[in-house]
Amino acid sequence: MKDVFPRFPLLSGDTPLTPLANLAAELGIASLWIKRDDVTELACGGNKLRKLEYLLGQARSEGCDVVITGGSPQSNHARLTVAAANKAGMETWLCFAGDRLGKVQGNLLLDQLLGAQLFVTGAYGSDGLLEVMRKKALEAKRQGKKPYIIPVGGSTGRGDYGYVVAWHELERQRQQLGLPPFDEIYVAVGTGGTLAGLVIGRGQTQTPTRLCGISVWQGKERAERDVNRFIRHICEEINLTMDADIESSYVLFDQYIGRKYGTPSPAGNEAIRRLARSEGILADPIYTGKAFAGMLDQLAKVGNKDKRVLFWHTGGTPALFTHAASFELV
């Protein structure tokens, strides 16, 4: 697909699409594949780099020199923004939720190593943080800088466009390998921008694949409202007339969040262990482990043996170390 927006390249090629043959045999399904967006090459990798290619592309085309974003102190998005902005020759200011940073480990350690300016804001939620980021942008302007604000999770029409492009990458790889469409694709849902991008891409290629989002943060109703909102934002951004039935043309599960967002769940950690021991691949306890657990649970139901399934790995592995203690009990 030809790029319609300026892109600052952060991925040098397609991410691997590989079979999980051992697990497919264990589960007794026709096939299981994985799309490795966890091995995108900057600073431990992850899905946010696909969004950042277009966000930083825009920032650079507008002549900006400081990126302002935020999230929790253990945000993967924050870590990858600093890494990408360093490569683009821009400064990064990180606005963190809450009133303390917590232990310097995992993503926070990497933010420091990468040289971001860190701010503890006392604010909570995506909207609260966005307000703080706007204030910081005014401060940057007073210092003669040109700021570019990226909302929590990098989810804007422009950023999520990266996952429309990712969908087309998957389709190309699949066809090169001579594979028929997957019956189901599972992906973790945080803000919902990643799933929204995939839904738009699938609409464009009219591929008969069921997109299954495993929410790790919000209940089904809110998550669905957000995914639908991001679908509309992407359509506006790329001037696409939206099919009336594209909203909610995916499945969302909210029963795998565990106690709450940001806290590991026993099922998620068990799924991490299972993937690691059968395939040598690492998932994380906040996003991909829970999503993987959700997929395993869904596939354990009857009537799945002919299914051809893909798990879209979105990264997050630094959180394994932050939450090391959660693996000690089992």
Ligand X SMILES: *Cc1c(COP(=O)(O)O)cnc(C)c1O
Q: List residues with catalytic annotation.
A: 75
Q: How far is the CA of 226 from the CAs of 135, 189, 196, in angstroms?
A: 25, 10, 9
Per CB under 6 A, does 153 bind ligand X?
yes
Q: How far is the CA of 243 from the CAs of 156, 231, 239, 240, in angstroms?
A: 20, 11, 12, 9
Nearer to ligand X, 77 or 307 (CB): 77
Task: Decide: 284 and 316 in contact? Cβ < 8 Å.
Answer: yes
Nearer to ligand X, 256 or 287 (CB): 287
DSSP letter string over 211-232?
Answer: EEEEESSS-HHHHHHHHHHHHH
- Residue 227: CB minimum distance to ligand X, A: 8
Nearest in space to 279 (alpha carbons), one of 37, 40, 26, 15: 26
Nearer to ligand X, 20 or 291 (CB): 291
CA 29/CA 7 separation, integer angstroms: 39
Q: Which amino acid type is present at position 320?
A: L
Region near ligand X per CB under 6 A, out of 61-69, 141-149, 169-177, 313-321: 313-321
- Residue 155: CB minimum distance to ligand X, A: 6
- Residue 216: CB minimum distance to ligand X, A: 7
What mask, x for binding ligand X by CB under 6 A, covers residues 169 to 208?
Answer: -------------------xxxxxxx--------------
Interface with ligand X in residues 61-80 (CB under 6 A): 76-77
- Residue 278: CB minimum distance to ligand X, A: 20
Nearest in space to 162 (alpha carbons), one of 194, 191, 187: 194
Region near ligand X per CB under 6 A, out of 89-97, 236-244, 283-291, 321-329: 283-291
- Taking the CA atoms of 242, 247, 251 and 254 in sequence, report the sign of the dihedral they define: positive
167, 287, 292, 311: which one contacts ligand X (CB under 6 A)? 287
What residue ranges bind ligand X (CB under 6 A)?
Answer: 46-48, 76-77, 153, 155, 188-194, 284, 287-288, 314-316
